[in-house]
Amino acid sequence: MHKKTDPTIHDIARELNISASTVSRALQNNPRISLKTMEKIIALANSVGYRPNTMASNLRNKRSNTIGIVVPLINRYFFSAVISGVEEVAFKAGYTVVISQSNDLANKEISIVHSMLANRVDGLIISIAMQPTNYEHLKTFRKKNIPLVLFDRTIAEIDTNKIVVDDFMGGFRVTQHLIEQGFKRIGHMAGPQNLQTYIDRKNGYVEALLKNGISYDESLVITNSLRSEDGIDAVQQLMNLPIPPDAIFCGNDTTALSSMIYLRDRGIRIPEDFGIVGFSNEPFSKVVSPSISTIAQPGFLMGQKAAELILSQIEHKEKSFKTLVLPTELIVRE
Amino acid sequence: MHKKTDPTIHDIARELNISASTVSRALQNNPRISLKTMEKIIALANSVGYRPNTMASNLRNKRSNTIGIVVPLINRYFFSAVISGVEEVAFKAGYTVVISQSNDLANKEISIVHSMLANRVDGLIISIAMQPTNYEHLKTFRKKNIPLVLFDRTIAEIDTNKIVVDDFMGGFRVTQHLIEQGFKRIGHMAGPQNLQTYIDRKNGYVEALLKNGISYDESLVITNSLRSEDGIDAVQQLMNLPIPPDAIFCGNDTTALSSMIYLRDRGIRIPEDFGIVGFSNEPFSKVVSPSISTIAQPGFLMGQKAAELILSQIEHKEKSFKTLVLPTELIVRE
DNA sequence: CACAATTGCGCAATCGATTGCATAAATATT
DNA sequence: AATATTTATGCAATCGATTGCGCAATTGTG
């Protein structure tokens, strides 16, 4: 028969006829313990395969050594890149990463956030769901003084750390790019306007139009959830206008792709007859035919920065809130 | 000034002049508590925003309500799909998912696994790193009787639950497909042969050749780590052979893509002059030009199954080990 | 050699929730 | 009305690691 339970410091203490406190101290390299005892303890700990019980230690220390990350969908290139970046930094710093996805549903997000609170995460990194809500669940973090970093999709209402790409400049640049390509009547597929991200992209779009002496025509802007199907619906709508656009700035690459396929299937040549640009630089946008010009969002970097930011808040009790704006890059393709 | 610490059952107990045990029981809907006290307790708990401290509860209950997942790289479509599937099932069952990536490095994997052990995960789902090792860290799970599920990349050496796709049939089918397209001399880019996955894919390839009366030529098979650069190196090698192949079955889509681009840049027309197939159905393989035929690996489903399997082991103490073989699907494209 | 300073270690409380057992109070039974 | 039963609650130990304080043994000082 095998011993069921993992060895604890008490087991080691009993074996060596010393106290658990000494074992605990020895394993933490406390200088108050003599070298001799220390060696004995460490040797035995290794031989019995002792692993400290993090739950006990965390309980006592009132910290979980865990940071939470919540994204709308794990299985999306940009988000998984962010997660990857967070994990890298967090792991190096000795933190565990717990993860959850909201599926863009406010209710699931709330439920997740409560669960993260119950798990006493030391900090939370979140890209909030598209579905709007009152964000009470996030304000709790402020009240309890738990570090919180919003990334990518942020809202002005919550005063905390934020990491975003320069959506305004991004929107401006892709639109400018379309104009430079000779397109005159440029539509825009915008994301939910409760999120700063999509507001900024749209503002960049509008600014680029105005700078180039093109008047802003509201009928050319369609706001939706930027899912693949939404892209198709929106393109249909736009193309049915009395004077349809000759180019579209899509709020993300997903809709850019679905729009492109839809138009191509209808015999519209891209980019000769019609211009399409996206936003995000999803990996597919490079390899589709024709490849899509888009704005690169540095996901991995964003994750690293988010992790660094939250760790500095956790460990140095940094009080001030920062908003990091990462530069975007226009990637010109076919 | 704000109260620093979260309210505990003791705070609630003191407030109501009752004992902590009663509070604890009330919050668990224990029938031994009168309706009246229960209501009082729940009302107060809500009003002070009480959230049970999972660390304390887990310590006492000797379970973490956590399942760990380790993948080589989070930011890879197939893996993030698996993670997404795991998260979905785990969250519904009230479990937290902790995640880490090995970057295909044996040392990091070992370190991660130890950290997962220290965190006392209730179960671990892992796709092991390519870099070979002795797998002692995984055997620990068997010894300690902690549920373990290997997925995608598995090894025969460890006796535990496994979820794989039918790599043999997959390898067989794509090769068969190339043969049917009229290719005669088919090369193979194989992954590390310490992983069952890649062994099976290769065996499927060999079997398909033999079934079609084509003799197996070892010089046409190159084994590497299937990174993008590896694909280019391997193609160069193959094309420099005295009698180069006219088609390649690449061990994954990444190498299929890099090979394709390499060949295309050298004026070789695909699929007219040369056949390429991949494995995994990464999203890009559908939209590249020409689109790549490949084998679909149902990542999301695999994640769900892995989570279900591990939960059944955790909760029903299911003793027997299963190996689930998920069907693959040949996706014929250009 | 007597006393002070240092070193090495143990005691016991603590973190917050859980639970077997005991006890008091309320209700039922004869 | 007296005893048996049920109901509602509390006590105290437990999970495993940590740490302030205290005490004894060792080394140092004059």
Residue A272: the pLDDT is 85
A300 interaction partners in chain B (CB closer than 8 Å): 75
Determine whether the interchain pair A77/B74 forms a contact, defined as Cβ–Cβ distance below 8 Å: no
**Token pair recorded at residue A278:** 């996206």
Asked whether residue B39's C-beta has any atom of DNA/RNA strand D within 7 A, the reply is: no
Taking only the tens place, the pLDDT of each residue in B281-297 is 877 777 666 778 888 88
A54 near B CB under 8 A: yes
**Mean pLDDT (chain B, rounded):** 90
Among A156, A255, A248, which Cα is nearest to A202's?
Answer: A248
Taking only the tens place, the pLDDT of each residue in A197-239 is 899 999 999 999 999 999 999 999 999 999 888 999 999 999 9
A161 near B CB under 8 A: no
Low-confidence ranges of chain B (pLDDT < 70): 1-4, 287-289, 317, 334
Asked whether residue A24's C-beta has any atom of DNA/RNA strand D within 7 A, the reply is: yes
Residue B3: the pLDDT is 47
Could you give the C-alpha distances from A224 to A65, A133, A151, A250, in angstroms and in order? 39, 17, 21, 11
Q: Which of A65, A97, A99 to mutate to test the interface with B (most CBs of B within 10 A)?
A: A99
A286 interaction partners in chain B (CB closer than 8 Å): 284
Distance of CA B47 to the CA centre of its chain: 42
Determine whether the interchain pair A81/B75 forms a contact, defined as Cβ–Cβ distance below 8 Å: yes
CB distance B312 to B161 below 8 Å? no
Residue B2: the pLDDT is 40
Q: Which nucleotide is nearest to B11 (CA to C1')?
A: C16
B228 near A CB under 8 A: no
Burial of A29 (C-beta count, 10 Å sphere; 0-12/13-18/19+) = exposed
Distance of CA A288 to the CA centre of its chain: 25
Positions 31-60 of B with beta carbon below 7 A from strand C are 50, 52-53, 56-57, 59-60
**Token pair recorded at residue A108:** 């699931």
Cis peptide preceding B290, ω within 30 of 0: yes
Residue B206: the pLDDT is 96
Strands (E), B166-282: 186-190, 221-223, 247-250, 275-277
Residue A328: the pLDDT is 85
The stretches of B49-122 forming alpha helices (DSSP H) are 54-61, 77-92, 106-118
Residue A1: the pLDDT is 36
Taking only the tens place, the pLDDT of each residue in A250-279 is 998 888 888 888 888 888 888 888 888 888
Q: Which of B74, B95, B286 to mutate to test the interface with A (most CBs of A within 10 A)?
A: B74
Out of A62, A77, A97, name the one closest to residue B99 (CB): A97
Determine whether the interchain pair A101/B118 forms a contact, defined as Cβ–Cβ distance below 8 Å: no
Nearest chain B CA: its distance from A100 CA (Å): 6
Residue A258: the pLDDT is 85
Taking only the tens place, the pLDDT of each residue in B53-65 is 999 999 999 999 9
Q: Which of A46, A54, A297 to mutate to test the interface with B (most CBs of B within 10 A)?
A: A54
A1 near B CB under 8 A: no
Cis peptide preceding A290, ω within 30 of 0: yes
A100 interaction partners in chain B (CB closer than 8 Å): 87, 91, 96-97
Cis peptide preceding A31, ω within 30 of 0: no
Q: How many beta-carbon pairs below 8 A join chains A and B?
A: 130
DSSP-assigned beta bridge partners for residue A81:
none
B60 near A CB under 8 A: no
User: What is the SS3 assignment for A42?
Assistant: helix
A119 interaction partners in chain B (CB closer than 8 Å): 54-55, 96
Determine whether the interchain pair A87/B101 forms a contact, defined as Cβ–Cβ distance below 8 Å: yes
The pairing of beta strand A96-101 with beta strand B96-101: antiparallel
Asked whether residue A305's C-beta has any atom of DNA/RNA strand D within 7 A, the reply is: no
Asked whether residue B27's C-beta has any atom of DNA/RNA strand D within 7 A, the reply is: no
Tens digit of each residue's pLDDT, chain A (334 residues): 344 678 999 999 999 999 999 999 999 998 889 999 999 999 999 999 999 999 999 999 999 999 999 999 999 889 999 999 999 999 999 999 999 999 999 999 999 999 999 999 999 999 998 887 789 999 999 888 899 999 998 888 889 999 999 999 999 999 999 999 999 999 999 999 988 889 999 999 999 999 999 999 999 999 999 988 899 999 999 999 999 999 999 998 888 888 888 888 888 888 888 888 888 887 777 766 677 788 888 899 999 999 999 999 998 867 789 999 998 888 877 6
Determine whether the interchain pair B55/A112 forms a contact, defined as Cβ–Cβ distance below 8 Å: no
